[in-house]
Amino acid sequence: MLKFACDEIVLPTGVYRGERFKAHYQPFARLFLDAIDSGRWNRFVAVGGTQSGKTLVGCVIPCLYHLFEIGEDVIFGVPDMSMAKDKWEKSIYPAIRASRYGALIPKTGAGSRGGKVEAISFENGATLRFMSAGGDDKNRSGYTSRVCVFTEVDGYDEASDASREASPVDQIEARTESFGERKRIYMECTASLEKGRIWQELNAGTNSKIMLLCPHCGGRMALERENLVGWQDAKSPREAKEKAYFACPLCAHSLSEEERYQANLDAVLEHREGWEHVDTFSLRWNAGNNMFVPASLLGQKEWKAKYEDNEENAEKRMLQFSWAQPYKPDIQSIHHLNSALIEQRMSNLPRGIAPRGSKWLTIGVDLGKRFATWAAIAWDAEYNGHVVDYGTFEIASDSLGIERATMIALREFADAVSVGWKIDGQGYSHPIKVSQGWVDSGFTESAQVVYEFCREREGGQVWRPCKGYGTNMDISRWYNRPKTTGSIVKVIGDEYHFALIPAQGVLLVEVNSDYWKSFVHARFSTEIGTGAAMTLYFSPDRNAHKSFAKQLTAERKFEEYTPGKGLITKWETVSRANHALDVCYMASAAAHYCGARIVARPVGQFTSLAPKPPRAPRAYSGVVSSQPRGRGFTLPDGRPYFIMNRS
């Protein structure tokens, strides 16, 4: 493959554009391609920094070698099919066009004139077939080839949350299994996290190190980030650029750029212990091996990163882009809410009494097989919440069956709370009634019952099915935040939206559970009387709220960096008894839909950005709605959903 690259590959971009590929341009290329030619391994993993030639060496050259030198089909794996077109147009097609194989590019069909790219058949009979991580698993199961080339490997798992089968990388690689040891697998990626696929592949393979020969002490050494010195005490980026240099980790002698280049030309590989027993050759190169970037420029980059306001982002950028190392975030609790402090947040109002000034009352219901948990929270316009009541009700699934038992229990519960609750000083003459009741439909066995129950109650305008999406579920699914309303998405709120289920004739509320759990914890952490704080009803029993408070703290919040998403908030389970947290986050999101806001918007602000509230879906035909036709969605008290004035 090395000879093929030097004889056939013409560089389409970069410093050496228009020239034939030469291994001495980037000496690590010789080490990687020589390993392929050795015939010792059948899987090859390349980990390097950005703009070092990683994609060309680890991906494009192997792809072209098998397509044109061998004349065989190649599967090209990408995280999603939108990237297929990008890789074809920016990496593969220019390299083919610049070589003598440009005449083999098809004149018609896929790959000839842009457009969607999935399978490209060349004039020599070889086919380049793109496969992605997204979509149906069956899309990856009907095509076989001896050769698979993967790019951006760490992006596959992120793009495949919905798959219930093996990881997409494994599924695509399985297309080569019939070829046995004759298969050839190539992977390349920038390191993202230690648990990322490419870093795992690197460590599971030979994990070969590039060992340079020091011209001063004669020892073999590997250049790493800590060996770039001189820039640390600089007072400016210019001074850092002037003072930066690589030093031998053995003798501490400075290395000129010429010496570093020669040391890389004379480099050898050092494999990890036990390398003889693996079938994967894996190689990592970093800025010390990248001849396109001098030490002076690296020093300047390091200095700028050191003094950048977003220190974490700068550190991540230097590690991943220059040094080919994974970012190691500090995974720690952001704020661990104390259950004992929650118990102390009792007001002077007894159970069942809403505070004066309450405008809405929302209920969250979490269903199980044998019982359900619920909480009723009264809210004022400034998002102060007061837990008026909470509890459980039985679902007699063992004797009635889960569907019938759930429907009976929900109907009885809804009837019981339909009278509402007293408001302090008003009694039952003007009770506060349920503004919104959101019922968890995530329990598969009772989901259809929840849809039917909500549909029969006020035409689905008060009681609504609800499903949370977050990072602490048995099958973790990210919340998919829609950008616009349309035929399916009817209302978009803060980290929740209403999605029409045509077959059921109801709107399903899809909620970012991570966001709203954080919201609940924030409300119970906010000082009472300062606005947007949560309180509990009074009980003379000092332990009355102990179980409820423990359930509110049954999950712990922490931050973690995730490729493609950045630093995000996640939740981990401390105790499986977390029902109170679930019902409170549902009730809190429902309050936002009702109109509660932490920060009131001035008159006219954002008016031009507010989408027109959509009409009720046609799936409600046959159900009488109290809402005048044509007015679209409103808040439960009749006001428009997008509130511009709180006065």
SS (HEC) of 412-425 = HHHHHHCCCEEECC
Q: How many domains does the chain have?
A: 3
In a domain, 243, yes or no: yes
- Clarify whether residues 25 and 168 are in a common domain: yes
Residue for token digits 């034939």? 20
Residue 193 resides in a domain: yes
pLDDT of residue 470: 84
Report residues of the chain scoring pLDDT below 50: 137, 159-164, 331-334, 473-475, 600-637, 639-647
What pLDDT was estimated at residue 599? 62
Domain that holds residue 488: 339-594
Do residue 509 and residue 544 come from a single domain? yes
Rounded to an integer, what distance in angstroms lies between the CA atom of residue 326 and that of residue 203? 12
Dihedral over alpha carbons 169, 49, 27, 263 (to 10 degrees): -130
The torsion angles phi and psi of 541, rounded to 5 degrees, stand at: -80, 115
- pTM tops 0.75, yes or no: no
Q: What is the pLDDT of residues 453-464, one digit of tens each?
A: 999 998 789 999
Q: What is the dihedral of CA 61, 65, 68, 73, to 10 degrees?
A: -100
Distance of alpha carbon 57 from the chain centroid: 29
From CA 463, how far away is CA 18, in angstroms rounded? Answer: 67
Cβ–Cβ < 8 Å for 148, 175: yes
Q: Give the Å distances, CA to CA, from 12 to 19, 111, 112, 367, 444.
A: 8, 18, 18, 60, 54
Q: Do residues 288 and 305 both lie within one domain?
A: no
In angstroms, rounded to a whole number, what is the distance separating the alpha carbons of residues 179 and 334?
50
Distance CA 22, CA 55 (A): 16
CA distance 358 to 381: 8
Are both 224 and 368 inside the same structural domain? Answer: no
DSSP-derived secondary structure letter, 544: T
Q: Is residue 629 part of a domain?
A: no
Q: What is the pLDDT of residue 610?
A: 30
* pLDDT of the residue at 15: 80
Domain boundary among 594, 613, 639: 594
Residue 640: inside a domain, yes or no? no
The DSSP code for 320 is I
Q: Are residues 322 and 405 in the same domain?
A: no
Give residue 11's pLDDT.
87
Shared domain check, 356 and 279: no
What is the CATH classification number for the domain harbouring 277? 3.40.50.300
Residue 632 located in a structural domain: no
Per-residue pLDDT, 141: 57
Distance, in Å, from the CA atom of 298 to the CA atom of 280, rounded to the nearest integer, reads: 31
Amino acid letter for position 271: H
Quickly tell me which residue has 């000496």 as its tokens: 27
Amino acid at 592: H
Report phi then psi at 471, rounded to 5.
-105, 10
Residues 312 and 443 occupy one common structural domain: no
Tell me, yes or no, whether 170 lies in a domain: yes
What pLDDT is attached to residue 557? 78
Shared domain check, 288 and 410: no
- Identify whether residues 198 and 253 lie together within a single domain: no
194 shares a domain with 171: yes
- pLDDT at position 616 is 34
Backbone angles phi, psi at 385, to 5 degrees: -115, 140
Residues in contact with 387: Cβ distance below 8 Å, sequence separation at least 6, in sequence order: 375, 376, 377, 534, 535, 536, 537, 584
User: Is there a domain that residue 644 lies in?
Assistant: no
CATH of the domain at 367: 3.30.420
In a domain, 606, yes or no: no
Kindly state the helix (H) or strand (E) to which residue 448 belongs, with its residue range: helix 447-456
Q: Check if the beta carbon of residue 119 is closer than 8 Å to that of residue 110.
A: yes
Q: Do 354 and 298 belong together in one domain? A: no
Same domain, 477 and 586: yes
